[in-house]
Amino acid sequence: MDEVSGWWSGAHHEGRGLDVLALADAAGGFRPLIDGGYDALVDAGLEPARAARWVSARPLRTAFTAVTLDSPRYSALLKSIPEPPPVLFVDGDVSALSMPAVAVVGTRSCTSYGSSIARRLGAALAAAGVVTVSGLARGVDAAAHRGAMAVGRTVAVVGHGLGFTSPASHDGMRSAMVASGSAVVSTWPDDVRPFPSNFPIRNRWIAGLASALVVVEAPVRSGAGITAREAGDLGRPVWAVPGPIGAPASEGCNRMLADRSATAVVDVDELVATLTGASPSTGPEHWLNVLFNGATVDDTARRVGCSVSELLARLSKLELEGVVVRLPGQRYAPTGAT
């Protein structure tokens, strides 16, 4: 249980469409602005009626963790965008918000190919120490989250209060995220239901929480397309996975590539190396990436320096979770890749 003070509750309710950081800068910092109350807000340029509502706001209680814009735990990436949300509500490990992050998004109605690529991206980013940010939706989002959780951590940004999970069928995945050190983030109080109008706002926070965005599959008109435009507006690099001509799930990505608003993804490992600044040929190889690139279980164990029995135990768990599928000849692939 956490509580947001009346002042930050006021910032949450009255600060939308307003640069609260700029207000604080005009006042010489958050402390003078908070201590100065109504007069300080008006002196900083806020309309008197809005300032009055702000300072009269009641504290907000949450069953989760509240992180305000003045907190060192607030995401530095999100804080760098214009008009960042004054309060974040977090279910899980808040430290995940401070890790290097790349957003992976796409359509709910993805193909098996799109699901496979999203899982590989999530796993490869996690192996490089990068958090995968996505929206907890069906399709590409879920695949990216699962791939990341198989190796490391992920962050889900939702369009509703944390008292809900949307879709409800992802409640188990959300619980697994929290248990694994990942985080689910909202900018709405716990009791706010998943309204359609919330999700375009959520898409901006997905773009803001990451240093780059990858669109795996997306129709021309889609939430992923909105997120890509938000990322572009924020100066974040946008990448897109090319798809077959005429395929509805890839038409949005192909158009982004045609108008040069995105760069083509031609190889997952090369993309991750580009995004992280690492060479794909240096550093320790993650066992899951080795396996997904066609090595047998025995070969993978030798290359990464662990026992076959340890590897098989991990793979059995990932099979049960629906992350990997077993192939003939001691080989495995991401679910949906076959």
Give the CATH number, domain containing residue 294.
Answer: 1.10.10
In this predicted structure, what is the pLDDT of residue 283?
40
Residue 270 and residue 302 share a domain: no
In this predicted structure, what is the pLDDT of residue 286?
64
Coil, strand or helix at 154: strand
Number of domains in the chain: 3
Residue 241 and residue 127 share a domain: yes
In this predicted structure, what is the pLDDT of residue 177?
94
The answer to whether 185 and 78 have CB atoms below 8 angstroms apart is no
Q: From the centroid of its chain, how far is CA 197?
A: 19
Is residue 87 assigned to a domain? no
In this predicted structure, what is the pLDDT of residue 285?
53
Residue among 272, 288, 280 at smallest CA distance from 323: 288
The single-letter DSSP state of residue 238 is E
The answer to whether 151 and 127 have CB atoms below 8 angstroms apart is yes
Distance CA 175, CA 202 (A): 20
Query: What are the residues facing 154 on neighbouring strands?
Result: 132
Residue 250 and residue 153 share a domain: yes
Residue 240 and residue 210 share a domain: yes
Is residue 77 assigned to a domain? no
Residue among 180, 115, 172, 182 at smallest CA distance from 142: 115
Length of the chain: 338
pTM for the full predicted model:
0.84
Residue 128 and residue 244 share a domain: yes
Distance CA 205, CA 115 (A): 23
Query: What are the residues facing 186 on neighbouring strands?
Result: 89
Q: What is the pLDDT along the chain (338 residues), one digit of tens a residue?
A: 799 999 999 999 998 888 999 889 888 899 999 999 999 999 988 899 999 999 999 999 999 999 999 999 999 999 999 999 999 999 999 999 999 999 999 999 999 999 999 999 999 899 899 999 999 999 999 999 999 998 899 999 999 999 999 999 999 999 999 998 999 999 999 999 999 999 999 999 999 999 999 999 999 999 999 999 999 999 999 999 999 999 999 999 999 999 999 999 998 888 998 998 765 544 445 677 778 777 888 888 887 777 888 888 888 877 776 677 888 888 887 765 54
Which residues, at least 6 apart from 54, have a Cβ–Cβ distance to it below 8 Å?
A: 7, 10, 11, 13, 14, 15, 38, 41, 46
Range of the domain at 11: 1-62
